[in-house]
Chain A
Amino acid sequence: MSFVLVQVIVGGLLLGAVYALFSSGLTLVWGMMNIVNFAHGDFVMLGMYVAYVVYTLMGGGPILGAPLATLVLATLGVVVYFALIRDIMKGPMLAQILGTFGLALLLRYSVFWWFGANFLSMPQDIVGGTYAFAGLRIEASRLLAGIVALLVTLGLHLLLTRTSLGSKMLAVAEDQTAAQLMGIRPDTMQAIAWAIAAGATGLAGALIANFFYIVPTVGETLGIVAFVTVSLGGFGSVPGALVAGLLIGVIESLSGYLIGAIYKDIVVYVLFLFFLWFRPQGLMGKM
């Protein structure tokens, strides 16, 4: 195998891990309450801006910026749940779509108003440059994002399957009334789910900010990828999002290098549709 090809695949895997990281929040919210959060991409964007503000105000890198972005977005997640989601969940599907879409535009244009439309960027070496071994080059910031992505996805999976909190959340997802009869408060569980989902998304944003540009519309660019990742992985499945993210990352990289970048999206989406034809529930989703 040619040497460049190894670099392409490694790059694709790291990219895919990041795709997985910022998709896990979307899949969690769907799994818990059947809501597609169209503001998801803009949550990522907010996470990036929190990290940037932390950097400019306090000079801190991801060690400070990432936890703060997680905290800020988790809080926002709870606020959004009580102020918006709880009510629109009772409404028709269209109200849910338009509600979260409206939220997306509100967040995007608030950031426009406050920060302006200019592109921002973290210093290139904020996480410590690039590792080079045997000619292979791996950016520290991408490696960090990739490792955190794996840990967070694993953590989320364990939380849902191995803890009593996870069981309670799943119980609410399964049957709200029955869960309530068992003494579980659906409101609390769903608010926690929003906090976790938004927090993970904020963390993803803060880590992506280290190697991507920051602009109010970046959520549009990244949001689409999250939706494809989640539907390929299976709506509601956290491990599914991980596998799908890695798969999409590698396919994008390989097709971008081998047959040209303007065709890479065609390759990804053809494979995606072809796959859904055989398995409409996605890789690991339930019917």
Chain B
Amino acid sequence: MNLKHVTGLLCAAAMSLALTAGAQAQDKVVKIGVIMPMSGGTASIGAHAKAALDVATDIINNAHPELGNFPLAKNAGLAGLGGAKVEVIIADNQGNPATGQNQALRLITEEKVAAVFGSYQSGVTLTSSAIAEKYGVPFLNSESVAANLTERGFKWFFRTTPIATDFAKIYTEFLADMKAAGAKTDAIALVHDNTEYGTSVANTIAGAFKEKGQPIALDVAYPVNATDLQGQVLQLKDKKPDVVIMISYTSDAILFAKTMQSLDYKPAVLLADDAGYSDPSFTKAVGKISQGVFNRSSWVVGPPGSPSAIIADMYKKKSGEEMDDTVARQMQGFFVLADAIDRAGSTEPAKIQAALKATDLKPEQLMIGYKGVKFDDKGQNVLASGAIIQLQDGENYVSVWPKANAEKAPVLPYKGW
């Protein structure tokens, strides 16, 4: 290597340094690590979440005056950080708690993300948030409902979604109302998979009904991603409970619907706990044979021109799907995290953590039907809430409870096909 080469290399190095420095000054970027199931049995959820976060970052990074006073929409980028853009780095958790944990580690130590967002399955959120806690990086969860996630005394974990205890309360009240209206709701069966989500939500719901003096009559557990569910449906057919509560991911929800039809089994009330039943591919695949199933949801689309309607439109253009409850909760959670980073005016973890703790969003600042967003000491949003929706026509859910916000009256009994 002669002198000419060396000077040439030095020049190149200096130029690239100058270029990157210039680029940094122009668009400062806030990296947010996102852990989602991009492959495996729940990959459809990951694909929808990705489309939703694309829309959310578009709203944050570009000016969207049509959204009015919706937080972060008006100007381009995060005002608190001099117009910095938000960049989403997606990591695939494969629906596997161990993989989720590794991805959290990679995002934090290698990608140096300012905060972590995820991870759909409660079991994966459990492990990945433990890594964020260890490294002192804020972790925002928007959709995992296992109650214990916020019972671990974590300081860096924040959750915007209503959780199992909230839903259990909704279910007891809803069924009490149905009973008052003349439906038989005495014997309740719980059907759930053996994941963190399935077992913990089933336990919480069973506890809530027991407190009301109505112990669960039948508990049907099955392994997640089952190849066959005839035995379980026959168990239900045998014991004839009045109400069946389904706690299932998409694959099993579809197989249950098909098996229930082939064995001609219909409970009087079929009530689903979100998850698989909110996946648009569930309604497309088996909606027509699941008419009248109840489901819980926090998503209600507002009148045309309202932020929620505009955002739902943007999402539909991006993904080709209707906005569903899971995706809406994820988008809302992401906005809460971005809002906190904006108010923190920094990517320092401690400042973001403090800003999250100070979060106090009002219903009109949200795209979803929560009563607001405000975290308690455990990191749980105390203003999260939900409603009951019903798949009356086999294609689209309509809100049916509580009465104040209902589009239609609930229809009983479960029609099926």
Contact = CB atoms under 8 A, between A and B. Distances in A.
Interface string B47-71: 1000000000000000000000000
Nearest to A255: B231
A212 B255 contact: yes
Contacts of B227: 15, 221-222, 225, 252
Contact of A112 (B43, B264, B282): B43
Contact of A119 (B221, B251, B417): B251
Interface stretch (A77-85, A148-156, A197-205, A260-268): A260-268
Given A4-B237, A213-B254, A261-B221, A119 B44 contact: yes
Given A260-B221, A261-B223, A7 B234 contact: yes
B46 interface: yes
Contacts of A132: 264
Contacts, number: 126
A137 interface: yes
Interface string B147-174: 0000000000000000000000000000
Interface string A87-115: 00000000000000000000001001000
A87 to B, nearest CB: 28
B214 interface: no
A4 B286 CA distance: 25
Contacts of B220: 260-261
Contacts of B223: 261-262, 264-265
A221 B280 CA distance: 22
Contact of A120 (B40, B237, B285, B417): B285
A245 to B, nearest CB: 12
A130 B255 CA distance: 16
B228 A116 contact: no
A118 B228 contact: no
Contact of A11 (B225, B230, B258, B282): B230
A221 B41 contact: yes
B228 A256 contact: yes
B230 A15 contact: yes
A142 B288 CA distance: 20
Nearest to B193: A262
Interface in B195-242: 220-223, 225-232, 234-235, 237-238
Given A213-B251, A221-B227, A117 B234 contact: no
Interface residues of A, number: 40
A124 B258 contact: yes
Name which of B232, B261, B281, B284 has the most chain A CB atoms within 10 A of its CB.
B281
Interface string A22-55: 0000000000000000000000000000000000
Interface string B181-202: 0000000000000100000000
Given A116-B47, A119-B281, A257 B254 contact: no
B262 A4 contact: no
Given A4-B237, A119-B251, A124-B258, A130 B264 contact: yes
B282 A119 contact: yes
B43 A117 contact: yes
A227 to B, nearest CB: 13
Contacts of B235: 257
Nearest to A141: B262
A104 B313 CA distance: 37
Nearest to A3: B238
Nearest to A213: B254
B250 A119 contact: yes
The B contact surface, by secondary structure, is helix
A217 B282 contact: no
A281 interface: no
A121 B285 contact: yes
Contact of A216 (B43, B228, B284): B43
B75 interface: no
A213 B285 contact: yes
Contacts of A20: none
A194 interface: no
A117 B232 contact: no
The CB with the most chain B CB atoms within 10 A, among A121, A211, A222, is that of: A121
Contacts of A139: 262
Contacts of B237: 4
B346 interface: no
Given A15-B230, A124-B258, A137-B264, A262 B43 contact: no
Contacts of B225: 220-221
A284 interface: no
Contacts of A117: 39, 43-44, 46-47
Given A217-B40, A222-B227, A119 B254 contact: yes
Contacts of B234: 4, 7-8, 11, 257
B39 A118 contact: no
Nearest to A16: B228
A254 B250 CA distance: 25
B342 interface: no
A231 interface: no
A112 B39 contact: yes
B279 interface: yes
A50 B263 CA distance: 27
Contacts of B175: none
30 contacts: A4-B234, A7-B234, A7-B263, A15-B227, A15-B228, A15-B230, A117-B46, A118-B47, A119-B250, A119-B251, A119-B282, A120-B284, A121-B258, A124-B258, A124-B289, A132-B264, A213-B254, A213-B285, A220-B40, A221-B41, A252-B228, A252-B231, A253-B228, A256-B230, A256-B232, A257-B235, A260-B221, A261-B223, A261-B229, A262-B222
Interface of A: 4, 7-8, 11-12, 15, 109, 112, 116-121, 124, 130, 132, 137, 139, 142, 211-213, 215-217, 220-222, 225, 252-254, 256-257, 260-262, 264-265
Interface of B: 39-41, 43-44, 46-47, 194, 220-223, 225-232, 234-235, 237-238, 250-251, 254-255, 258, 261-264, 279-282, 284-286, 288-289, 417
Given A220-B225, A256-B232, 18 more contacts: A116-B47, A118-B281, A119-B285, A120-B284, A124-B286, A130-B264, A137-B262, A217-B41, A257-B232, A260-B220, A261-B223, A261-B226, A261-B229, A262-B221, A262-B222, A262-B223, A264-B223, A265-B223
